[in-house]
Structure 1
């Protein structure tokens, strides 16, 4: 991690910021400005011409945002990073930068609903096609890859089924075929999993989730090589304009300082809640990367530091009983995000993944009985007490 920052707990607090360069301010200043002044017309010309470093306009670069991106690149083990106004702005900028009309994208069998919608938009408007695969083996990859494939796009753990994908295996295959691997690392964060160190090329985040951690910001981040990030910055980010505001960057910098502490508590609470959920008679099936009976447990153990804070489970009943369970909760909040201090719970089939046609949704394993639980930072006993009474009420 660097001579001074061998431990992520130290790096999230100190890396990338020198208070001496900002009037001794302990906290990163918020450069809440749309534009920057030049000392002369000639200086403006040089900056626009790339002959002189310096800020021009906050859509193109901002000091607060730059401190965030330097930190995120370091934490993920990449060369450079970019910040966006949402996770989907990051995903769309990366995928548009990596494809042209006629190209093909291989996707993990299960995606966030809006990513699924973006892929369909790209197919309808630009003839950039996509195929889904479980990506469980080299044989799976060989069956789905095409001569025109340029990207393999992966969620792991997959949202919301918590299926795991062996990133080292996929990265090795992709390099042999000249294909770029993009990994959505939102569920794990660089504290639990580092796809670039496992051989993948680009990492994207909905930084709204664990990176921010407090439910008060919408944001996205992408990390990769300096050359690729420069391409994204000078094309899809600059010209489409899905940038991050300075204040949102400041919120993420604040959130990052406690990321390891929060992730430890999320993971510890999830382990406790999982063990009780698994034993409850109203739970038909449970999907959690830390489950030693999970078919992908060996992958989890190999590439994740801990098993994360998200659990999905199926209610033993109908869609209505699943909704009745949610309605019976008193402490847990019904909401579609994750990674917040509060425990959040939702029904993917009718909420986050409702835009996916039923046939495709069921093929992804998203049934009408499936519930996604983002375990928060409360006392785990209180989280379980609320879940237990709601299960017993249906």
Structure 2
């Protein structure tokens, strides 16, 4: 008798909230554990079913987190590292002496420091370009770099790069593109789907979300670049700790919930600050007054949870604003459930020369907010009273 399958419900691909929670294999099937344990070991017996030998070259906690990250990113491969800087180092280790990297001019300060003070000593050359400028992509065909390095939104100015446009120009020149997606995460934008070769994330930030673990990750659909990342993880000793991977695996389960609240709070704060008498300007990607809003609306499904403002203030006065807050802690980093405030000129971009900071617009009156999950009315009241020192 023939079986009619018309009544069967077709399975749909799981949504991101489901992907973030379900990690698959726990490597502890005999216990039925829902949350995988921490495999705090340096060494594995030869011939084990998982193929592990030494934690520097792989650990169950690495593999669990890598599978979740690849699933959320909707890509084939993810490789985890000990920090975002470790992930940057892994990528650059795939280059050769004399290679040229064309970089967006507004990058995270530690990325700039790595290129100019570390990688330069090994013969990796860099050129800095404003990829929001008309005709910026023309340089790729003319200079034929070994790699293009982007951030979008950028740190701290929240410039939004047209990733699809740049990636198309790079593909025409057969140049791989790296996009640091830390500020957005794959829940806000997916660089690989816009044409990037590698999507880099500091998992310390939104992915973990609780300011208690360091990590980095590189996602890709390119098998050759994936093999380079696996090699760098092992050969350069860039691996994370099993405990940090366990924490980040736990943290990512609530990423969709946390980010939803943070984005709502950030949008409300940006709107409030835009009308504040002591604030000269606000940068938030989905606001109508953002210079790259049209691109942001196309490639980002929300404005994210970072807000940058400009005020008339010296460094000391900007510090007073930052220190006068109750619910915003003045600190490095971002993306946690708690709100943070940062003075980029002396913190995240302290290693960038004064000349370059002036050129980019990173002034003493620039303040960066990482908006957390607190009640938005408390955050607004807190900022209002702190900005009062500018009277």
TM-score (norm 2): 0.93
Are the equivalent residues in 1 in contact too, given 2:140–2:170 (CA < 8 A)?
no
* Structure 1 residues 53 and 146: CA distance shift in structure 2, 3 A: farther
Note the C-alpha offset of 1:158. 0.2
Are the equivalent residues in 2 in contact too, given 1:87–1:219 (CA < 8 A)?
yes
Are the equivalent residues in 1 in contact too, given 2:331–2:340 (CA < 8 A)?
yes
1:11 aligns with 2:19: yes
Equivalence for 1:259? 255
Equivalence for 1:294? 290
Equivalence for 2:228? 231
**What secondary structure is seen at the aligned counterpart in 2 of 1:183?**
strand
* Structure 1 residues 123 and 9: CA distance shift in structure 2, 3 A: closer
Equivalence for 1:156? 152
1:367 aligns with 2:363: yes
Are the equivalent residues in 1 in contact too, given 2:26–2:33 (CA < 8 A)?
no
Are the equivalent residues in 2 in contact too, given 1:31–1:63 (CA < 8 A)?
yes
TM-score (norm 1): 0.92
Name the Cα RMSD after superposition: 1.9
* Structure 1 residues 121 and 96: CA distance shift in structure 2, 3 A: farther
1:126 aligns with 2:116: no
Q: Distance in 2 between matches of 1:284 and 1:166?
A: 26
- Mapping of 1:123-272 within 5 angstroms? 123-136=119-132, 139-143=135-139, 146-224=142-220, 225-234=222-231, 236-272=232-268
Note the C-alpha offset of 1:330. 2.2
Equivalence for 2:101? 105
The answer to which of 71-80 and 268-277 deviates more is 71-80
Q: Distance in 1 between matches of 2:381 and 2:133?
A: 40
Note the C-alpha offset of 1:75. 1.4
Spell out, residue by residue over 1:360-387, the C-alpha distance to the aligned partner (whole angstroms, 9 max, x if none): 1122221111000000100000011111
Equivalence for 1:86? 83
Are the equivalent residues in 2 in contact too, given 1:138–1:169 (CA < 8 A)?
no
Note the C-alpha offset of 1:317. 2.8
Note the C-alpha offset of 1:136. 2.2
Spell out, residue by residue over 1:331-387, the C-alpha distance to the aligned partner (whole angstroms, 9 max, x if none): 211111100111000100011100000111122221111000000100000011111
Structure 2 unaligned blocks of 5 or more: 1-9
Q: Distance in 2 between matches of 1:347 and 1:149?
A: 33
Are the equivalent residues in 1 in contact too, given 2:339–2:372 (CA < 8 A)?
yes
Q: How many residues align?
A: 380
1:23 aligns with 2:20: no
The structure with the greater share of residues assigned to helix is: 1
Equivalence for 2:373? 377
Equivalence for 1:387? 383
Structure 1 unaligned blocks of 5 or more: none
